[in-house]
Structure formats: structure tokens, C-alpha cells
Amino acid sequence: MTGPRTLIVALGLSTVLSPACRPVAEPPAAEPPSLNITNWSDKTELYMEYPPLVAGHTARFAVHLTNLADFQAMTAGRPHIEFAPESGGSPSVVPGSDALRPGAFRVEGTIPAAGRYKWALVVDAPGLSDRHDLGAITVFADEATANAGAETQQGDDPSAFAYLKEQQWTNAFSTGLVQDVELRSALRVPASLEPLSGGEAVVAAPAAGRFSADALISIGATVRAGQALGRLEPRLTAGDDRATLAGEVAEARVGVEAARAEQARAERLLADRAVPARRVEEGRRAVTVAEARLQAAEARLAQRDETLRTGGGVASGNAFVLQAPIAGRVADVMATLGASYDEGAPLFRIIRTDELELRAQVPAADVPMARNVTAIALELPGRVDPVELEPHHTHDAGMLDRATGALAVQFEVDNPGGQLLVGQTGTVLLYQRERVRGPAVPKAAVLFEAGRPYVFVQSGGERFIRRYIEIATRDGDWIGVKSGLKIGDRVVTRGAYEVQLASAAKGLPAEGHVH
């Protein structure tokens, strides 16, 4: 009984233990962490990727070099890395290669003994020599310690995203430092463009009549003061037309002459005692009445012509010639050839466009600043650059608008080339005499999201961070920054929109670079 049982147990143990007797596959060795460093000189930008440094091991450094003169990839030259012991002694040199492709180089060689070194990358290229001092670095005695040391290094900002060197070199791209700049302080408020006081005129019908013209003037046409716009033929009513009034004046003059002649005859006859004195008195009264009739007829004719002149025209036969009272552009044409109009009906509207009135809505607290303006820049939708303007005269009503609580400050400005349009609205920068100093960036570096300004800060060779800022002032091509940046930060100054598109991907590609 015992033998068979023992056999069964032995077979069972053999079955259970046999898998443990097989060799176990070792897990694949973990790849060492990848480190990178970015450094800028006055001539070039260095972005380099490399492994943790182990004494006596061969290390490969992926070097990316950008010429800061045009932010293009360097295509010639050969870099090398120098390791100078901090304790002193001759530096060890790791040689590099020619360009593998535009901007990409390789430095490869044996790492010196363990210890602390001051290291630098040196570039020798035709027409360009440069040196990047990279500070201190530790060379470890073994790989495990080196990897552990690399893991303790500070990681990337989680808000950073990738924009690779290949993209930077292919697209329009450049960066610049946030600088300490003295700028004019400015007040930024909403504004609109209006006609000057007296710079708008409506030509109305001086009397009821029919409009005619050789050709109807079109909207937008430029006219000079006194230019004929058309004719208005008044409706003929008894005694109203100019011919009748002129006839009455002529008839009255004839009556005056006849009365005076009769008076003179009566005076001669009275001198000869041929007629009584009563005849002379009657002659004098006749002259007075005739002269009164002449004055009344002349007054009616003059009143008709004066009515015409104040209505924008001059008499021409039995028609009113409508004239432009001011020089400018025709903004509205209400007249129609052959149509009849009542007295006072508007026919044309003319606006002066060589000078305009800029109306700025200034908050009550900022009114003192608005009354101390030396220059103006008008920002208009659709225009990249603001329009620089010089105010000729500044005035305001001294009364706040009840609806907005703002004071409408008006500036008379020239309209160079007619580029400004009546009715346009935008934002005006009212520059003050005093200046302020602080961090500033080129205006091309600033983008807006829902009206909120931001820039892209380059935190590393291929790493960028969106940084929201608060604008302090704007002056020409510079924007003063109140908060969000500090002097020495590096921001994207060209190609910010392409970087914005890359930010949607958010992260470095898994495949990385190929060297």
C-alpha cells in the first residue's frame, strides 16, 4: 500500500515543481533618463539632450544650435564639450561631429573620472566662434548612482508644452528678452470719430419746387465750397416767380420817374403862376408813393434772392442753383432728378473729412490725465498698428454723461489720406508727458484671448509656457507689463500664432528627436 502512494505523491510533486525548475526571463533593463539643458549666448542658442554622466562610459550628446542673428539652424561648424575639474587641472574634451542635418550635431566620447566639473560647449564654425558656459555638473562613479541623481532633478513645469526645433527652424520664429524700458504713460479709453463742429451741412430746398441737374452727384464725391449741386425750379404762383418780381421793380422805377417828371413840371408852372400851389403838393405826394412802391418791389426781389442764398444757392433766372456750403464729401443724396420737394426738404448732406473730431469717453477719475495729453494713438478693429494722431484743440462740456458716467473729451485731429472714417469706433491711447520705466515686450509678442493679454515664455529649447500678463502702458512698438513677466524672461516675438497652435497638442512627441 505504501509503495503506490509514494509514487503518486512523487509524480504530483514533479508536476508541481517542474515550472519552477525552468529559467526565469530577466526584465528588460530600464532606459536611463534623458536630461536636457538650454543656454543662450549673444550669438547662438544651444539646446542639448544627454544621458546621466558615468565615469569611463561613452555618452552621446544631441546638440541643437540656432543662429540668433536670424533664428535659423546652423548648418556648418563642429562643436565640442570641455570638462574642467573644479579642483583645477587640464580640461577633458569630448569631440563633436559636423552637422548631421540643419541645426543638429552630435558630440560623443568617453566621460572623464568621477567628480565635479565646470563644463562648456564650444562652437567653431566659418565666420562664427561661440562658447556656452553651462555651469557645474557631476560625473558619477556608477550608472545606478547617476540615474538616481538624474531622477532627483527638477521636472518640467506641468503647464509647459512642446514646440520642436524642427518647427522653429521651419516656421517664422524668434524670441527676445523682456527688457527694462522707459515708456510714455498712457490712458486707454473707448473713442469714436465724429464730424467737426461746423463740419457737417445739409443742403435743403430753399423753396417748394422741382429738382433738376445735368447729372446727379453721387455719394462719396468730393465737393468744394460753392460748387453747384443742382437746380431747384420753384412752383409758379402769382407774384412768386423772379420774373414777375423783377417786372414789378421795373414798373415801380418807371412810376417813380414819371412822378418826379410831373412834380418838376408842376413846379415850373407854379413859378410862372400858371397852376395853383396845390398841383405841386400833389406831385410831391405822387413821388413819395411811387418811391415807396419801388422800395417794396426791390425788397420783395431781394428777400427772394436772400432766401435762396441762405438755402444754399444763387438765383439763375427762375431757378435756384443749389451750392455746397462747405468743402467735403457727399455723405447722403436725398434728391432725385425731376422730383418735387417742399421748402426745407433735405437734398444733400456734406461732411468735412480732412479734419475730424475724436471723442474719447474718459472715466471721471481720469479726467485730469485726459486734459494733459501730448499725443494720441487710435487703435481700430482690423488694423495691426494704431494710427498716430496729433491733437490740435482739446475741449469738453465739463459735464459727465448720465448713462455712462464718463466725460466726453473731444480732440480735433487731422485725417491723413482720409484713412479715418466718420462713425468709426475703437480705443484711443492718450499719452501723458510723464514716463514710466519697467518690464516691456514688443507688441508682436502679445496675443489676446477673450480680451485677456498673454505671451509665450520659452522655458527651454523646446518648452514653452503660456503666461497671462497685465498691461501697464503701450507706446509705439512696445508694451509695458505691470505683472506676469520679469526682466530677463525670454518670450516669443515672432511666430506666436504658430506656437499657439502647437500649444493645443500639449506635450512632447513620444518619438523625440532622431540623431
Give the pLDDT score at 311: 44
Residue by residue, DSSP assigns 332-358 as EE---TT-EE-TT-EEEEEE--SEEEE
CA distance 184 to 162: 36
Q: What is the DSSP letter of 217?
A: P
CA distance 377 to 350: 27
Give the pLDDT score at 124: 93
Give the pLDDT score at 315: 46
CA distance 174 to 135: 25
Phi and psi torsions of 327, nearest 5°: -85, 145
Give the pLDDT score at 337: 93
Give the pLDDT score at 252: 87
pTM: 0.65
Domains of the chain: 35-155 (2.60.40.1930), 176-193+354-503 (2.40.30.170), 202-236+318-351 (2.40.50.100), 238-300 (1.10.287)
CA distance 239 to 241: 6
> Is residue 408 a contact partner of residue 360, using CB atoms and an 8 Å limit?
yes
Q: Name residues of the chain where pLDDT drops below 70.
A: 1-31, 154-156, 235-241, 304, 306-318, 505-515
Q: Sign of the C-alpha dihedral, residues 184, 186, 192, 195?
A: negative
- Please list the residues that pair with 133 across neighbouring strands: 120
C-alpha distances (whole Å) from 127 to each of 39, 43, 508 are 21, 11, 34
> What's the residue count for the chain?
515
